[in-house]
């Protein structure tokens, strides 16, 4: 149980294009999903917290117009990198927290999406 | 301010030897602590958590961690390391009153040699 998927696993795009990354909780309902960015062999940087049916909460320094987050249902959140530039190249990871017993449960992480912007 | 520190960027252990990956934290109130492991080009996998109760927590793949309130530590341990344990390990604490947000340590790369 508690599986989170991400699609695509790897994407290469040209500078200036937009890329959408999907995060799905496959066998549970997630009230909250988190989006992280990770640089090579570095810790995860939280970008935003996404609650179903409401606007995402962005961390300081993260451009919300550039990184659009939509949490349309209890099992799906999307991150769209708009007008991507080479410096946006990174490993993007989502996580989901179950709506059940939310006080104590851990986040379940997706496998990540490697974005390369040429 | 709430924070997590992993003082070692890298830990090297011989296969079969015990391993320890260190973590200290700084939070107000009772901490919720987690350990995750990450293999190359993968997301994080949950290993174990401490919420309350017994200070020694047992988790996946033979790992355990000991919560020490006086030393504000939550070190990850395993009695006998395997080569397949080689990975990046993250300690995390749940931030208070922030909707379940986790604060991660900087990560420790564990290398187990045969």
Contact residues, chain B, for A107 at CB < 8 Å = 46, 100, 102
Question: Hey, are the CB atoms on A93 and B44 less than 8 Å from each other?
Answer: yes
Residue A94, token pair as written in the block: 């989502």
Which single residue is written with the structure tokens 């009695």?
A: B79
Does B97 have pLDDT greater than 80? no
Return the pLDDT at B8: 95
Return the pLDDT at B64: 97
Query: What's the mean pLDDT when you consider all of chain B?
Result: 92
Cβ proximity of B74 and B50 under 8 Å: yes
Cβ proximity of B24 and B4 under 8 Å: yes
Query: What's the mean pLDDT when you consider all of chain A?
Result: 89
Q: How confident is the model at residue B58 (pLDDT cuts 50, 70, 90)?
A: very high
Distance between CA atoms of residues B95 and B97, nearest Å: 7
Does A1 have pLDDT greater than 70? no
CA distance A99 to chain B (A): 11
Does B113 have pLDDT greater than 90? yes
pLDDT tens for A8-47 read 999 999 999 999 999 999 988 888 899 999 987 788 899 9
Q: How confident is the model at residue B107 (pLDDT cuts 50, 70, 90)?
A: very high
Q: How confident is the model at residue A104 (pLDDT cuts 50, 70, 90)?
A: low
Contact residues, chain A, for B105 at CB < 8 Å = 43
**Of residues B90 and A99, more confidently modeled:** B90
Cβ proximity of B67 and B57 under 8 Å: yes
Among the partner residues A49, A106, A114, nearest to B46 by beta-carbon distance: A106
Reduce the DSSP state of residue B57 to 3 states and report it: strand
Does B1 have pLDDT greater than 80? no
Does A105 have pLDDT greater than 80? no
Is B58 in the A-facing interface, judged by CB distances under 8 Å?
Answer: no
Distance between CA atoms of residues A25 and A41, nearest Å: 26
Question: Hey, are the CB atoms on B101 and A49 less than 8 Å from each other?
Answer: yes
Instruction: Classify residue B95 by burial, with Cβ atoms within 10 Å: 0-12, 13-18, 19+.
Output: middle
Cβ proximity of A111 and A23 under 8 Å: no
Distance between CA atoms of residues B47 and B19, nearest Å: 15
Does A102 have pLDDT greater than 80? no
Is A106 in the B-facing interface, judged by CB distances under 8 Å?
Answer: yes
- HSE-CB at B16 with a 13 A cutoff on CA atoms is 1
């Amino acid at each position: 149980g508690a599986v989170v998927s991400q699609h695509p696993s790897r994407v290469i795009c040209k500078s200036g294009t937009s890329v959408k990354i999907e995060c799905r909780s496959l066998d549970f309902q997630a009230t909250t999903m988190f989006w992280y960015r990770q640089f090579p062999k570095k810790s995860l940087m939280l970008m935003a917290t996404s609650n179903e049916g409401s606007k995402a909460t962005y961390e300081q320094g993260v451009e919300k117009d550039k990184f659009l987050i939509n949490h349309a249902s209890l099992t799906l959140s999307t991150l769209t990198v708009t007008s991507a530039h080479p410096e946006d190249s990174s490993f993007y990871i989502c996580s989901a927290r179950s709506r059940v017993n939310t006080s104590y449960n851990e986040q379940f992480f997706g496998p990540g999406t490697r974005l390369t912007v040429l | 301010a709430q924070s997590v520190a992993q003082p070692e960027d890298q830990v090297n252990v011989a296969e079969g030897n015990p391993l320890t990956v260190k973590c200290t934290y700084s939070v107000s109130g009772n901490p919720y602590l987690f350990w995750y492991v990450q293999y190359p080009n993968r997301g994080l996998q949950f290993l174990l958590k401490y919420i309350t109760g017994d200070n020694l927590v047992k988790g996946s793949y033979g790992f355990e961690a000991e919560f020490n309130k006086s030393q504000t530590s939550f070190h990850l341990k395993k009695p006998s390391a395997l080569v397949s344990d080689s990975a990046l390990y993250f300690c995390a604490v749940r931030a208070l009153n922030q909707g379940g947000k986790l604060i991660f340590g900087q990560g420790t790369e564990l290398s187990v040699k045969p």
